[in-house]
Amino acid sequence: MSSSPAIKVDSLVKRFGDTTVLNGIDLEVPRGEVTCLIGPSGSGKSTLLRCIAFLEEASDGFIEIDGEPLGFALGPSGERMRLPAGAIRSVRSRIGMVFQQFNLWPHMTALGNVSEALVTVRGMKRKQAEERAMAELEKVGLGQRASHYPSELSGGQQQRVAIARSLALEPRIMLFDEPTSSLDPELTGEVLNVMRDLAKTGMTMLVVTHEIGFAASVGAKIVFLDHGKLLVEGGPQEVFGKPRHPRIEQFLDTYLDRGAATLL
């Protein structure tokens, strides 16, 4: 495999109407590590993740996944050129994404939620898909809950099903958009543990989180976004250690979570 980073973001701009939400982001996400994206509310974290997942189209700039362009590339005369749908799908399929809201199908069991993705996206036979789905549910500690519907599962369990559903599709990169924001602390812990285990397997992960304790202990790289710009990036010690960038100091005062209080 090439030595290119798992994700490369180059001069990315995203505008909604007259509002510039991402204002020239350059970012490299190394392979096999956890990169945590932090920053104040409204700084553009979700938008950046959604651009990388191609759920939003960037207004300008480029994204590469494993060295291959996603969505847009430089054309022969140096113009920004949209790539064909097939090429976009092929690169996009390497990325899994987990959202704050679990987005499970309410009328399907946990097993159904995971296996359906394999049948519809991968064209797998139902029986084979269910076997695979069961194995994925076991990995996130939910083998015993396979026949339960989302309404019969806790928020933490629902999020673990969503993670299993993403992982079943064998992504090379996992994006997490505040996966624990809607959970209480106990359920947050169980989801973060699943993410810690996933990190140990060498999965490339880009995680938007307000869980500073998680970012400081699991993130190999921390990226701080502020008003649509990448303000600080580095290892946890560089970003959270003292002396700190004044904006980080201010951010920690506002967003410090319980785990972080003991870590920093």
Binding stretches for ligand ATP (CB under 6 A): 16, 21, 39, 41-47
Q: Minimal distance in Å, beta carbon 64 to ligand ATP?
A: 21
Q: Which is nearer to ligand ATP, 48 or 173 (CB)?
A: 48
> Tokens representing 223?
């990226």
Q: Minimal distance in Å, beta carbon 51 to ligand ATP?
A: 9
Q: How far apart are alpha carbons 202 and 24 in whole angstroms? A: 29
**Amino acid identity at 242:** K
Determine how β-strand 19-29 pairs with β-strand 221-226: unpaired
Q: How far apart are alpha carbons 258 and 236 in whole angstroms? A: 17
Q: Which is nearer to ligand ATP, 20 or 193 (CB)?
A: 20
Q: Minimal distance in Å, beta carbon 21 to ligand ATP?
A: 4
Q: Minimal distance in Å, beta carbon 44 to ligand ATP?
A: 4
Q: Which is nearer to ligand ATP, 44 or 96 (CB)?
A: 44
Which run of H or E residues covers position 12? strand 7-16
Q: Which is nearer to ligand ATP, 140 or 205 (CB)?
A: 205
Q: Minimal distance in Å, beta carbon 97 to ligand ATP?
A: 14
The answer to whether residues 72 and 58 touch, using CB atoms and an 8 Å cutoff, is: yes
Q: Minimal distance in Å, beta carbon 27 to ligand ATP?
A: 14
Q: Which is nearer to ligand ATP, 19 or 262 (CB)?
A: 19
Q: Minimal distance in Å, beta carbon 14 to ligand ATP?
A: 8
Half-sphere exposure of residue 101, counting CA atoms within 13 Å on the CB side?
Answer: 3
Q: Give Dmax over CA atoms of the chain in angstroms.
A: 57
Residues near 215 by beta carbon (within 8 Å), at least 6 away in sequence: 36, 38, 207, 209, 222, 236
**Angle subtended by helix axes 185-200 and 155-168, to nearest 10:** 20
Q: Which is nearer to ligand ATP, 110 or 162 (CB)?
A: 162
**Angle subtended by helix axes 155-168 and 126-139, to nearest 10:** 130
Q: How far apart are alpha carbons 14 and 56 in whole angstroms? A: 9
Q: By three-state DSSP, how is residue 44 classified? A: coil
Q: Which is nearer to ligand ATP, 21 or 140 (CB)?
A: 21
The answer to whether residues 171 and 200 touch, using CB atoms and an 8 Å cutoff, is: no
